[in-house]
Structure 1
């Protein structure tokens, strides 16, 4: 059983923080090295452990890794993202299920959480988008922790992606994330970040 009573100073070591944040970069070029399906399953199972509001878990993930799937996806990807997507071993279509609340009796059984969203499409949509975006961030961090590199992208036609991949499920795409083993010789240097006093307040 995992230790759920870790002391407050049980922080990750520098090597882990470097891998996930400090030294990590967005991957734009890839090694010709496949990602096993078993690792993709482990990745999802890790992402699924991250918290969402009332355990909603609205994120849905399509792991595009076949030549046929990639060729289809490229029709919806912007010109600037074509090459990195064509050569990535896997591209994840991150989406959300607008009817996520149908699963809440099982996922959040100690309250009638389904009723919070039933008949309230705008509220449900906003919650699904917020929490699935949170899960997308978990996916990037989990991928890095499992030894993969990630390249999130917003340059794609969401409506076309929905039509090509999600029409049957009714899910809605929000972003793409390329996954694999990055070619670090082609990685950009880190761009500037805002300082604490520019972006945060101690209230």
Structure 2
């Protein structure tokens, strides 16, 4: 029995752009990234699902010389050249106070905000990290969709970045993402991916 609902499929060009043809980039050109491009990326990134529609990820775009000067000492030495060269380095953040927005974002669950407010803080933080990490993946795909190259990094002092750029009582830096347009030498050899028969089980 069919429902009559059609499910559009992203064409091969789009699939290649987002997945099979995409590479993490370490070298960027000096072409600046317009604010409107980053705004379009967020307009895409905000739509995929999170639990309770909670949307706990926040973004700090670091692009000014002053901002980069604050960030660079907090990045592992092996990553500093990448951050210095990238037009934008985005700090993707987990906001522990995401529950304050739940009456607006998930109104059908009355009392959810109060339950999370009064419950164990560890549960709320764990939930924030999990869903913000999901959103970080969405954000990187969205950046690719608007034509940006992406270079995610975990090599930084997360506590120090949190203290420098955020409210450490309510937020935590999860990952840094360099964004820009690739330099001519940015292409690298594709590393292998595991085949389906080593990853997927059917039950």
**TM-score normalised by length of structure 2:** 0.93
Structure 1 equivalent of residue 120 of structure 2: 120
Give CA-to-partner distance per residue, 1:78-104, whole Å, 9 cap, x none. 011111110000001011111111110
Structure 2 equivalent of residue 76 of structure 1: 74
Which runs of 4 or more aligned residues in structure 1 lie more than 2 Å from their structure 2 counterparts after TM superposition?
167-170, 184-187
Structure 2 equivalent of residue 18 of structure 1: 16
The separation in 1 between residues aligned to 2:184 and 2:139, in whole angstroms, is 20
- Structure 1 range deviating more: 178-187 or 78-87: 178-187
CA-atom RMSD in angstroms: 1.5
- For residue 168 of structure 1, report the CA deviation from its aligned partner: 7.0
- For residue 6 of structure 1, report the CA deviation from its aligned partner: 5.8
3-state SS of 1:177 partner: strand
3-state SS of 2:90 partner: strand
Structure 1 portions without partners, runs of 5+: none
Structure 2 equivalent of residue 142 of structure 1: 142
- For residue 192 of structure 1, report the CA deviation from its aligned partner: 1.3
User: How many aligned residue pairs are there?
Assistant: 198
Structure 2 portions without partners, runs of 5+: none
1:100 is matched with which residue: 58, 73, 98?
Answer: 98
Structure 2 equivalent of residue 131 of structure 1: 131
Q: Is the CA contact 2:41–2:145 (under 8 Å) kept in the aligned structure 1?
A: no
